[in-house]
Structures are given as C-alpha cells and as structure tokens.
Structure 1
Amino acid sequence: MKGTTFFRSVRRETGQSLVIIGGALVVLMALLALVTDAGNAYVQRQRVQNAVDAATLAGGAELARTYVDPDSGHYAGTPQDENRIWQTIVRVAQANGIPDSNGNPNDSVNTNIEAYFIGPDGQRVGVPLPNNGGIPPSYEVSGVEVRSTLAFGTFFARVIGFDEMETSADAFAQAHPDWCPASASNLFPIAVSAALFQDDPGGKPIEGATYRIWDKNSNSSYGNFGWISWDNDPSNTTLIANMHDTRRSGTWHVGDLVPGATGVMNSSGVRQELDAYIAGATHSRNGLTIQHDPSVIIPIYDYTVGNGNNLKYHIVGFARFRLTNYKSTGGDKWIEGVFERYVDTTSPPGGGCYLTQTVKLYDEPPADLGRVIAGTVHLNEIFYTEGSSEQHVPVDVMLVLDISGSMNASWSGGSSKLQSAKDALIAFNNTLNVVEGDRVGLTTFPTVGRGAQYRTTCDNYKMNLYLYSEVRSSLTDNVGYVNSIIQGLSADSGTSLAHAIQTAREQLLADLRPGAIPVLIIASDGIVNVTLDGKWTGFGGAAGQGQNTPSCNNQAEQQTIEQANLAKEAGIIVFSIAIGDGFNTAVTEAIASPDADYDGNGQIDDYEKHFYIARNASDLANIYQLIGNRVQQIAEEGSYYTKETLGAGATVELRTTSGAIVQTTTANNAGAFQFTDVAPGDYRLTARVNRNGLIYDILTYGNGGPPRDPNNPRNGYVEVSIGQGTGITQVEVLYLSTCDGAARPTWCP
C-alpha cells in the first residue's frame, strides 16, 4: 500500500507539473514568437523601407526630367509625364522586393504601392499617382512621396493565433530644379557622350581625371562629342558666336533634345575660341570682349536622334570640364580636358547628382539657397621622399636641350650659347658613373614639320609650320654615343618646350629601371611660344627676366607648366636652367622641382636649388658641373615634389572688396565649397588650409603658377561679381601654394 500510495502520489504530482509546464511552454512559445517574429518584422520593415527609398529616388529623378514652368518656377508636365513617373516608381519598387499585386509584374498596377506629389513644404498635393491628369504648375510640385504596406507570414506567432503581420514604410524626395543639374545655362556648345565614362569605376567619371573626347564629325566610329546649336542654326558662324558668348545658350533641362551643329573644328574661329578658353584669356569678337574661363559647363547626352542637320542630343546631365588641349588637324580631332565634377555644388549636404540622379531623401525640405557662389579648392601640395643611406643609387638622366634659333646667338665676346651648352652637357655626361648603373638620354627641340594652315594667336598670321621635339637617344650607358649626337647639333626655329617635356617624360618613364632615380635636366634660352600641338603662337619677343609675356602666349606657357607638373607627380626630379636673360622667370622656375633648405641652415644654397640662371658660358658650365655632382649623391638628400590635390577642409572666405569677411565656409572632401544667400555685389575669395603642418594660403594662376599678387603673395584673391537674379555663380578653381617649410618658390616673401 505504501508503495502504491507513493506511486499514486507521484502520478498526481506529475499531472500537476504537466499543467504547469504546459502553461510555461505557452508563455515560452509566446516569448519565442515575440523574439523571432519581431526580428523578422524588423527585417521586413527594412526591406520595405529600402525598396521605398529606391523607388522614391527613382521617381524624383524622373520628375527632374520634366519641364519647369517659367512663371511659377515649379515642375509642370503632361499625363504622360505623370504616368512615366508612376511606372518608374512601380518598376523600381518591384525590383527591390515589393511584390506585384495582380500577377502581372509588367504592367503599372500595384496596390501595394502609393505615390503622391509633394510641395516644397513636404505635404501631399493632388491625388495618388497616376490620377492627377499631369503635373499642374498650380500644385507647386517639388518632389514625390512613396508609401508601401506589405503583409508577411509569421513563424512561431501563428501558434498564438497570428498567422501574418504587416509592415509599412514611406519616404519622400525633393527634386527642386535649382539643386542639381536638372537644368543649366551658360553652356559651352559641345555635348559629351555618357559612354565616355563607361570604363571608369562604376561607370562614373573620375574627378580630376583628364579625358580626351573625339569629334563625332571627324571619326564617327568612336566619336564621343558633338557640336551643339541652341537655335537650330547649324552654321559655323553661329557655332563660333555661341562659343564666344555662352550666355547665348539659354537654359536647357535634363531630358531635352538639343539641336546639333556641323561645326568645323579646324576653322580659324573655332580654334581661336578654344585657344582663348584654354589660356583663360580675354578675347574680343564682333565688338564683344569676354574673359574666357577654361572651366566650362557642358551637357552630357546618352543617345542621339536624327542625323545631319537634324541631329539632336538627348541630355541626361551637365558637367564642369576644364579645357586643356585640342587637336584640330588630321583625321582624328579631339578636345582634352579635366573632368571637375557634375554641376551639383548646390545640392544639399549628402545629395548626389550623377546624370539623372538629381534628388535626395529628406526628413524635411531644405531651405531656398538663393544666390549661390560655388567652386573648388586645389593645392599644389608638397611631398618629400626620404633620402637613402646607400653611397650611390643609379640615376636615369634625360637631358632636354633647346636648339631653337636663338641658341645661335653668342655670349658677349665669346662662343655661341649652343656651343657652350654642348660643352656643358658633354662634361656632365662624363661625370656619370656608368659602372654603378647610371644612364643618360637626350631630347632636343624643336623639330620642324608642315601641316594644315592655322592662324597664330598673337598676330593672326597664317602658318603651316609645326614645331615638336625629338628623342635623339633613349637611356643608355653609352655616354660616348650620346656625346657624339650632342656634338652634331645645330639650332633653328622656335621654342616648343611643352612638347619637349612631354616627350622626354614619356621616354624616361618608359625606359626607367626599378630602383633607379629619374632625373630631367631642361635647358632653354627663350620664351616658350609653341603650344603642345606644335603651333607657334606668333609671339617672337623676349620678355626679359621676371617680365610677363602677352596673354596670347598664355596657352603655350600653361601647357609647359602642366607637362612639368606631370613629370614631378610621377616622381621625376626636374632641374630647370634658364640661359641668358630672354625668358619668363615664372615659367622656367615653375617647371623645376621645389628648391629646399636640405641642410637646415635657413637659406637655399646653390647645391640645394633646382632652378638656375646661366648668364654666361662660365655660369652654364658651373651649373651642369654642380648638378653632375649632386646626382651622384642625390639619393642621400631625398627629394621634394609637388602634386595637384583636392583642397579638402580648406577654409574659404567671402570678402568685400575692402577685405572685410562676409561669410566663411569649409571645403568638403572633394574640395568643393559654396556660399548661399549672397547679396548682389562685388566680392573677393580667399582660402587657406593646413596640410601636414604647412599652411597653403597663396592663390596662384593655375597649379604651381605665379602668385596672383606678386608683390605680396599672401594678399592674393579671386574676384567674383553677383547680380540681382538668383542662381549659381561658378568661380574658377582656387589654386593654393605654400611658402612654409623647406621647399619654397623664390617669389615667397
């Protein structure tokens, strides 16, 4: 009995435990449902939110393609425009996980999605898309809102009676036409194909990269730019007028079809305008004088319709492009320049403008930006390569020698400059340690050729003479062979230094061995007066040391500095020797590597320089001897070099003409800055930034060029004028150099 009683007792207690455990299991299942299905609900909520965000951005981009009513300043469109926006929203939402509601994913019916137009205050206007009968201007539409509600099945929650749950998300995007390149004016009359960037990362252009765009008219097989006419007049005369005065373009919008032009690139008028833009020169045509900025705004197109005089370009965006070079002769004609950015400097923070992506998601609408000044800051940044403790590191030296006609002139009471240069170069070559691996090469300029006729920029003289350069010897350890070439040189014609530096740089880098130090030694006695494409500018005078040449010669000088900058950025140590006194100090010094106080004695001695002036034959011989001694230990001293970089974090100040600060801002990571709500008037821009302990605060003409204020470099500024109307004023790039540190230009105070 006791045993039986005990058994019964246990059974009775077990039954009570099962009730308790069963109840606990229900609670546990409920908790498990809460944890598991709540987590799933969060995932589903994020899924819907991501889909809604993507659909909203896509819808906003489509809205940005529509017409902006000139009276109201707001978007306006047809029922077809509204349907296109709605179809885009549905397509993108479904592609991102919102299920189709009627079993036909290819139609535009989906009850899981709602979309509305919104006004500047973010509030809905009208009725759900696509039932507004278009986009009435009275709605003051400036964006779209998209909302989606999605039901999804549960896992454990169905145990407690919840078979499915529901989540929803919404988003809105403003697409105001003033924020991004949905429209632009003051356009340069060429359209560039978006396909130009298809091989870049993500199919997007690289800021600061140089692109060569090919004229469609000259080579249709890979042409990626075409000339544009704003008023359906394809004549070359109108094209030239449109190039000269970009205000003639009016305002164009993303989605517009812009008429093409049959522009003749090698016509004198087209070439004169291109030359003036590249040089940043003041240019007159038909009584209208305009200061041309190398940075121009150009339309980007994705496809064309029609052909011949009926050709039109479909515009998908606008970009700022800095013109640097062009080729207008031969079968393949091209324009070269630096892509600076899409015209999006007035986008709200975090906004993006790439082609049609002209919208940004917001919690609340941004404020009206009013009158805007926008631009970028670039630095001629100084870098240092540590020296080596090795006694001798092999050097690869490319000699560049001017053999233009002026080198035939004699020193006072002595031999010709050319003969002195020959003697100095041969003596230099004989100091090289070929046993330890030193090598030398030789490039001379000019070489003379004939081609299509052109007009010189300085005197409008007809010419068919082209001046280039020639590699007389690639890098070799056969010093005697190079010396024999030097002995046979003769002098004639103009100073094509830009082409010579390009040729020498390319040859030097092609031949360079691992571990060797590349050195470029340039010697010239004259004014640079030939552009990179071989054309003489027509300037034949001598500026004299420290003087400036006329603006018609600027392109040749700027291209020379740019080619030298490319060499220095590639790690080449550049020595520059100015022979005589008929040269422009700003150019001949700018092409050299930075001088530096290597020994720290507070001054730059002759053995620390990279720019030298030879006033007589003895000077020239001594300079080459000095450089010859240096290259034997050049690995020990290390080297300074400069590189054009973005002015991220730069402080930019907007000042009155008397110098009082009006506004201050900071450049973003791309070096871009903007000032908003600027009152009409004349202003000055200054900038500065601390980079690795050096203060870059000197504004220069171009990267590494002379200071804007030669008398007091730190007082330089860029002028800008703001008119009465609202909109964006894009200023030229603010180039900054420094006078701090060991490496300093000679013009530093």
Structure 2
Amino acid sequence: MLIRLGRKLIKEQRGSTIVLMGLSMLLLLTVVGLVVDGGTMYASKSHLQKVANAAALSGAQELTGQEARVEEIIEDILLQHHEEESLVGTEVQMKSSVRVQLKKEVQLGFSRLFGNDSVSVIVEAAAQVMPMAVASGAAPLGIDESIPLIYNTTYKLKVDSSDVDTGYFGILALGGPGANTYESNLKYGYQNEIKIGDIIDTQTGNIAGKTREGVKLRIDSDPYPPGDYSHRDSPRVILIPVYRPYDQKSNQLKHIEVTGFAYFYILEPMSSKDTSITGMFIERTGTGFTKPGTVDKGAYAIKLVE
C-alpha cells in the first residue's frame, strides 16, 4: 500500500511539473514576443524620427527664401527615405521655424494573437533659425555694426586705405598678418571658428591686388548665372564678421570685436583700378551655432528644437 501511494505521489508531481513547464514556456514566449514587437516599434520610431529631423533641418535651410522651396526640400528628403506617405503635415514660419509631423503604421507579430495587428508611430521635429554667433569659413573682411545693412542693395567694401580716417578699411588679419594669409582666407575661407566677442587684429597695408585675385577665383569657379545666389555652394557668397571698434587709439584701429555675421554676394569682378569689392548683403542660413541675444545681421544658424 505504501508503494502504491508513493507511485501516485510521483505521478502527481510529474504532472504538476509538466503543467509548470508549460506555463513557463508560454510566459517565456509571451515575453520574447513582446520584446520582438517592442524592438520593431522602437526601430521604426527611431528611423521615422531621424527622417523627421532631417526634413526639418533641411527645410530650415530655405527659411530665408521662398516657402514653396521649404516644402519642396521636405518632400525631397521624405522621398529619399521612402517616407513620403508618412507626412501628416508641416508648419512653416518664414525666417523663424519649420515643423514636420510624420505618422506610420507598424505591423506587429506576436501581438496579433491579442488582436493588435499594427500600431501607429507618430513623431515630430522642429528646426529654428537664429542669428549666427559662431562660424567657420569667414572671409577676412569686416563691416562696422553701425553701418545699416539693406539687403539686395549694392555695397562697396573697401580694400585699400584711400579716403579713410583711421587707417583701417575693413580688412581682418584672420590667422595672422600677411598678404598671403589674407589671400588664402579670401579664396577659401578662414577654417577656424570665430565667435561673438572675439577680439581680432586688423590687417594693414594695401592688399587690393590680392583681393582682385581672390575675387577673380571665386567668380571664375561659380557655375551659376550672375545674380543667382540661391545655391548653397555658390563661391560668390562669402561670410563676413560684423564688428565694433575695439581699443581704438588716435587714428589707428588695431583691433575689432566681433558682434555678428553677415553674408555678402560678390556681384562683379574687380578691374585693375578697383579698390572695393562690389556686392550686396543677403539673408541666408549657414553652418554655425546660435546664441541668445545675438544681433541679427542676416546670417543664420539652424538649431533643432524638438
């Protein structure tokens, strides 16, 4: 009798073990299924967010131009990533910000057992343009902050000392003095960063000849029609620091303080007698960083705000 009772207990324990193993396997499969579906949702949302960020940042590059161009750029980015059908809407405020909202249905696997075939993934991204406070690639030219900038109006930036009172005529010694350094910076841009508040030495001497060579190179290498500054790679467009005089003594201005940035489009070549660069100031976005309180001089940096 005791033997029969022992056998019965063993059978019952085995039965309980099988039930527990079955429940454990079901629980494990459930967890694995949820993890897989969760991973699918995370990957889809991460991808969609990156696309939204790219669309907002790229669209913001055109916030100083035409709204239709902003929308066109956004559509191009979505098309490149095969997400054109995910667009819910855009909100564009020219010279301010652009917002992009995307929505996509993500197909699920394990969750279908519970009646959930798919889930909606919704993301938003917004980019804002603000006056540029830090930049690289500037030309070794400057303009006094007291001079009003009227966009798309012809200006002449002097490059020699004739008819000036202080002995300074807007030339900056970026990276050190010397005509060769100046020429290289004018042709290719000063590669180090310049920021608001930097104190920069001025360049003395007559460098009109080097300026003519630099201007000629930029015009000759421009593949676009004269007057067309809409292309972001146009070499005729140069970034120049805006300044206020710093530590001026008698009639010599040895240093300037950077207070902002402006974009200047070179309109025409310089003749052998020219001592000024003819062009116009334009509003434009570029590569750089922003800082609250920076004076608006038409050069803007882009910041992702969401």
What TM-score, normalized by structure 1, do the two folds share?
A: 0.23
User: Which is higher, the Rg of structure 1 or of structure 2?
Assistant: 1
What TM-score, normalized by structure 2, do the two folds share?
A: 0.50
| More helix as a share of residues | 2
